[in-house]
Amino acid sequence: MKRLSLLFAAIIAAVSISAQVTKIYKGNSSYVGDILYTWDGKKLYQGNTTYVGSILYTWDGKKLYNGNTTYVGNVLYTYDGGKIYKGNSSYVGDILYTWDGKHLYQGNTTYVGNMLYTIGGKKLYKGNSTYVGDIAFTIDGVIHPILLAVIGMI
């Protein structure tokens, strides 16, 4: 009986961990009414929901798809760990964004003039800033760099 209880507790813990989601808020807010997106690690949803009808994008670990699909015709971006490519490409001429772990840049560069966003703690700032007035989004968990390109452009 004790083994069964431990197994049940482990299953509940695993489900709770896998069910954790990240909320993306408008600006410098953490108010529930300002939730713009919900990210579960594989799907980006519109608003404060994980309802299938609210799926905007699907992530498979390398490619971001439009909607609730992994059909190759719906590939928006391909990510290789530092570069974000247009569509299903990995050609250098198709690099849209570069990620250095803290900043998202326009194109195949890490030039400060091409910096679109800076991550600082739970905040996503516009450009090369950490000024409170430049906060574009507040993020209450982990978010993948490819989503920075998407949420910043939505």
Is the residue at 25 inside a domain? Answer: yes
Assess if residue 9 is contained within a domain: no
Interior CA angle at 79 toward 78 and 85, to 5°? 55
pLDDT digits (tens, 9 = 90+) for 58-92: 999 999 999 999 999 999 999 998 999 999 999 99
- Does residue 125 belong to any structural domain of this protein? yes
Q: Model confidence at 154, in pLDDT bands (50, 70, 90)?
A: low
Tell me the CATH number at 132: 2.40.160
User: What burial letters (b/e) apply to 5-42, b meaning 16+ CB within 10 Å?
Assistant: eeeeeeeeeeeeeeeebbbbbeeeeeeeebbbbbbbee
End-to-end, the C-alpha distance of the chain in Å comes to 52
Alpha-helical runs (H) found in the chain: 2-18, 145-151
pLDDT beyond 50 at 11? no
Q: How confident is the model at residue 152 (pLDDT cuts 50, 70, 90)?
A: low
Q: What is the number of structural domains in the chain?
A: 1
Taking the CB of residue 145, how many other CB atoms lie within 10 A of it?
A: 20
Helix (H) or strand (E) holding 105: strand 103-106
Asked if the structure places residue 134 within a domain, the reply is yes
| Residue 5, in any domain of the structure | no
Residue range of the domain that includes 111: 21-151
> Does residue 11 sit within a domain?
no
- The answer to whether residue 61 sits within a structural domain is yes
